[in-house]
Amino acid sequence: MNILVTGARGFVGRNLVSQLRNIQSGKARCYGDVAVDAVLEYDVDSRTGELDEFCRVCDFVFNLAGVNRPTDPGEFMAGNFGFASTLLDTLKKHGNTCPVMLASSIQATLEGRYAGSPYGESKKAGEGLFFRYAAETGARVLVYRFPNLFGKWCRPNYNSVVATFCHNIANDLPIQVNDRSTELELLYIDDLVDEMIAALRGEEHHCEFEGVETVLKPEGRYCAVPTTHKVTLGEIVDWLGSFKEQPRTLVMPDIAPGSFAKKLYSTYLSYLPAGKVAFPLKMNADERGSFTELLRTENHGQVSVNISKPGITKGQHWHNTKWEFFIVVSGHGLIQERKIGTDEVIEFEVSGEKIEAVHMLPGYTHNIINLSATENLVTVMWANEAFDPGKPDTYFEPVK
């Protein structure tokens, strides 16, 4: 399949083209039987004549080209309606009735705060052009009205508040929030790209609109991405604040799979300057080696790394409720555990050559011994609760 993407170097275009190329090269196999033979990229600086050739050979068109912030509002109609007309006329010239997708906007509803919007009116005119094209040619036309978009590679200080907030907070720049309670409907770029690829298989989602509300309907005239998120500006700012603090607190927020927070965190990280990509951790070092906390979670404990020098024994304590995994990733050692009040000792010889997890059982005093005379013993440790100095639940007692 030859796929034409107009506006290929814009925010949506870059993400879509990248994933299409992943499919083409066999790197993305999660999309089943989608076959991509060529990705035909067209943008404002493309060579004269490329659009004509691409429209001759393409099997599917994603029309993402458009104008968002012209200096003259009159340019909305030329950029959003004018190019769409040129694209469809070129397809008709070659008798190519392949499916065509149009990236429109929720502003095309011209409802509420979008009433009278020159941008919305230009998008609405483009929609009408595509629907007439479908009636005239019989081509399959997919018109999507996108809400606010966010994700990696989105341009800050342009037309996405999420991109602006992520960029500014990541770079220690101020943000302005006039009303924390303002609610936005947001669409994540990966969800959008997944829907676009589903459309290649003829599995797009259809809808109608009740005002600005999307109502999914199999027979709907319009198309929609089924997953969006309604969040307030205050919620966005609060999440971003917690993400910014993570290198200092080591606390990873409790983020649900598929949640807005998970998608926002990935977006935020994509705006980090080079100086913040790496950050130091506090190593508690002495003559025996070191102990470094790596990560804390709100509800699922903490992860640390312990380095024991040759011949050193560490641990020799027990817990009532706390329990841990010890995972040796380098070196050669011995873990010993003894049930409190008994002489019952269980032992585990461990090595980075055979990585395994060993439970440190509640009510068992335990240690870890570096058996090597020359190599450090490196152990990744997970505890079911973050260390609380006010209630450490840790009691010294030698195993033997």
Residues assigned a catalytic role: 114
CA–CA separation, 229 and 272 (whole Å): 23
**Token representation of residue 44:** 């404002």
3-class SS at 243?
A: helix
Residue 182 CA: distances (Å) to CA of 113, 149, 265:
13, 16, 20
Q: Are 99 and 63 in contact (CB under 8 A)?
A: no
Task: Single out the residue of 195, 180, 197 nearest to residue 145, CA to CA.
Answer: 195
Which DSSP string do the residues of 325-375 spell out, in sequence order? EEEEEESEEEEEEEETTS--EEEEEEETTB--EEEE-TTEEEEEEE--SSS
Task: Single out the residue of 189, 184, 108, 168 nearest to residue 144, CA to CA.
Answer: 108
Residue 163 CA: distances (Å) to CA of 176, 239, 247, 268, 282:
13, 14, 21, 8, 31
**Token representation of residue 224:** 């929609």
